[in-house]
Amino acid sequence: MKSFHLPVSGFWFLVSGFSSLVFRLPSPVACCLLPVALCFVLAGSPTNAFSATNQEVEEALTCQCGCGLTVHSCNHLQCGFAVPAKKTIAELLGQGQGKEAITASFVSRYGEKVLSAPTTTGFNLAAWITPFAALLAGGVLISFISLRWSRRPQPESTEHQPTSSTTDSQRERLKKELESFEG
């Protein structure tokens, strides 16, 4: 019996197209077609349909040669870490090990620095939360300051109305200065 293999992207395409069809059909028909469609989608073996690829595992690991890239994208031709790591990953995937088991074996050998993204447990959780918390705190602070500035009472714009005696004295002074300037 030949198994049906559907890539994950094909699965989502099928599900999205099927869901729009199901919502257009009457309810009893939809209830009957949904299990049938799921049987077709999941007919392939789960190890084939959802197994990790070389690229996924290589992207999860950071190259230790100092380039700062992942094992998959290390651009050194004869890299002392990436080339053997790629061979090891291919062998372990060929033996049927999953992505988690392979990354765990690399972490046990090289430590957590080999992971391309920090784990979401323990103190490393701060590496995930801190940027978002800082953005949130900055947004709240900017909102608070701008709201406070917008509600600040505006100073009344009272123009200084000079008294008539000040105005007369200023006019006389201006006339004298103009006469001396012209004359």
Q: Per residue in 106-130, pLDDT tens?
A: 999 998 889 888 778 888 888 889 9
Which has the minimum average pLDDT: 25-39, 112-126, 140-154?
25-39
The residue among 5, 20, 96, 84 whose CA lies nearest residue 51 is: 96
What is the pLDDT of the chain when averaged over all its residues?
Answer: 77
Question: H helices of the chain, where?
Answer: 8-24, 27-41, 46-50, 54-59, 82-94, 99-110, 125-151, 164-182
Q: 104 and 52 in contact (C-beta within 8 Å)?
A: no
CA distances from 35 to 3, 40, 69, 120 (A): 18, 9, 44, 35
Which pLDDT value is given to residue 25? Answer: 47
Count other Cβ atoms within 10 Å, centred on residue 71: 28
Q: Which residues of 101-123 are buried (b: 16+ CB within 10 A; e: fewer)?
A: ebbeebeeeeeeebbbeeeeeee
Lowest mean pLDDT among 14-23, 76-85, 151-160: 14-23
Residue 30: its pLDDT value, please? 54
Residue 33 contacts by C-beta under 8 Å, 6 or more apart in sequence? 18, 22, 25
* pLDDT at residue 50 tops 80: no
- CA angle 42–7–27, rounded 5-degree value: 45
Look at residue 1 in the predicted model and tell me its pLDDT.
44
Closest CA to 55 of 90, 84, 81, 83: 90
Question: Does 42 score more than 90 pLDDT?
Answer: no
pTM for this model (two decimals): 0.47
Q: Interhelix angle for 82-94 vs 99-110, to 10°? A: 140
